[in-house]
Amino acid sequence: MKNKNQKQPELNNEQIHALMDLPFEYLKARAHEEKVKWDLELSFFVNGFEKGCREFFGLNLNDLCFPIYDLQEPYQGFLNNFISWYLLTNSNNNLTLKQNENEKE
């Protein structure tokens, strides 16, 4: 049994880059919904996350880059609906990145 206070292993750049796809796509979709111009690159979010940022434009992430809540949702349920859609439509999604490789180590 794992200790609840045990810290998660740190993610490497490749893992962060892959895992940030969900919040990146969410923020892009939210900008579209709000009719806000979007010209940010994924690298902006990866770099911020690597420097310790866990909130991007009101979207709060856990240490595994997964969205926890959004303070600026266009309407209630927007984040949850997006996450469900993303996980269902991305059969090759990045949330399981390197799971098999990590199990081998």
State the Cα angle at 15 between 76 and 26, rounded to 5°: 20
pLDDT score of 13: 87
Place of tokens 């579209």: 32
State the Cα angle at 62 between 56 and 104, rounded to 5°: 130
Tens digit of each residue's pLDDT (9 = 90 or more) over 19-53: 999 999 999 999 999 999 999 999 999 999 999 99
In this prediction the pTM is 0.79
Of the two residues 79 and 12, the one the predictor is more confident about is: 79
Of the two residues 8 and 50, the one the predictor is more confident about is: 50
Going by pLDDT thresholds of 50, 70 and 90, the confidence category of residue 102 is very low
Residues 30, 78 contacting (CB under 8 angstroms) = yes
Alpha carbons 105 and 103: distance in angstroms, whole number = 6
Of the two residues 102 and 48, the one the predictor is more confident about is: 48
